[in-house]
Amino acid sequence: MCRRFVLDLDWEALAAGLDIADDNIDRDDLPEPSYNMAPGHTIAVVAQGRDGARHLAGARWSLVPAWSRTDVLPYPTYNARVESIASKPTFAASARSMRALIPANGYYEWKGGTNGRPFYFHADDDHALYMAGLFSWWRRSLGAPWLLTATIVTCPATDGPASVHDRMPLLVPDDFVGPWLDRSSDCTDMLDDLRKQGTELSRSLRFHEVAPLPDPAETVHNNDPKLIRPISRNTGTPALLF
């Protein structure tokens, strides 16, 4: 399941590519670049507002449903399985009308479990990946500030990605961005087609092994492109690039 990813994108270029008006970019809340995004961190989400326009904003990675009395749930909500998003109470309301794109440069998966070998996945042309997401607004009490939270939707992995892990983020192709973000549409009508097209997109991903990632709490001084540098499987040292 996706629990780490890389986010170091040009917000202006991303917004232009997704038809997001300049006034709808919440620059104050967008995250700083990170090569080790982890649950609980502020990530970027693209979503359609009630005004019908697309917005780019920061959100806490781990969805909190509006009905929850606390923002710390007894189970993880940084991922949501596509097979159950429409029926699981935690995600059902968001799946109906609060769907989002979660942009990323790439993501990590581990081969052999949590303490296994990490691999970095990215697009062949290094185009931003649009991971399917859900969002929710939550507040502790009436009059308290609203908190925007989000989760990444995952699906079964196939082909190359499946050689590392049996799950992966559900990727949204460019021509599916509109239907996925459309708040008036029912996601259950599109999930089969989205999964098929997302699977086709995943076949073009490139991936390589990387060194073990530092604890997210330690990345303040250890959070740069070297985290995605390939290593040699035989020696565990950085691979020669020339």
Q: How confident is the model at residue 113 (pLDDT cuts 50, 70, 90)?
A: confident
Q: Which of 106-110, 122-126, 149-153 has the lowest mean pLDDT?
A: 122-126
**Per-residue pLDDT tens for 58-110?**
999 999 999 999 999 999 999 999 999 999 999 999 999 999 999 999 999 99
Q: Check residue 234 and give its pLDDT.
A: 55
Please indicate, yes or no, if residue 199 is contained in any of the structural domains. Answer: yes
Measured CA to CA, the distance from residue 137 to residue 96 in angstroms comes to 14
pLDDT band for 240, please (50, 70, 90 cuts).
very low
What does the pLDDT average to over 206-226?
87
CATH, residue 155: 3.90.1680.10
More confident residue, 59 or 232: 59
CA 152 to CA 167: how far, in whole Å?
12
Confidence of residue 219 (pLDDT cuts 50, 70, 90): low
Residue 105 within any structural domain of the chain = yes
pLDDT at res. 220: 65
Residue 48 lies in a domain: yes
Model pLDDT, residue 194: 94
pTM over 0.85: yes
Number of alpha carbons in the 13 Å side-chain half-sphere of residue 222: 10
**Where do we find the tokens 């995605």?**
228
- Please say whether the beta carbons of 6 and 228 come within 8 A: yes
In angstroms, the CA 221 to CA 209 distance is 22
Phi-psi region of 113 (alpha: psi -120 to 50; beta: other; left: phi over 0): left
Q: Quick one: pLDDT at residue 2?
A: 85
Range of the domain at 185: 5-228
Q: How far apart (Å, rounded) are the C-alpha atoms in residues 210 and 159?
A: 20
Residue 242 confidence (pLDDT): 30
Does a structural domain hold residue 234?
A: no
- 241 part of a folded domain: no
Distances (CA, A) of 24 to 49, 95, 154: 10, 22, 27
Q: How high is the pLDDT of residue 233?
A: 66
30 is a domain residue: yes
Q: What is the pLDDT of residue 122?
A: 97
What's the total number of domains in the chain? Answer: 1
Torsion of the alpha carbons at 109, 36, 9 and 26, rounded to the nearest 10: 120
Domain annotation covers residue 39: yes
Calculate mean pLDDT across residues 210-214: 94
pLDDT at position 241: 37
Domain contains 65? yes
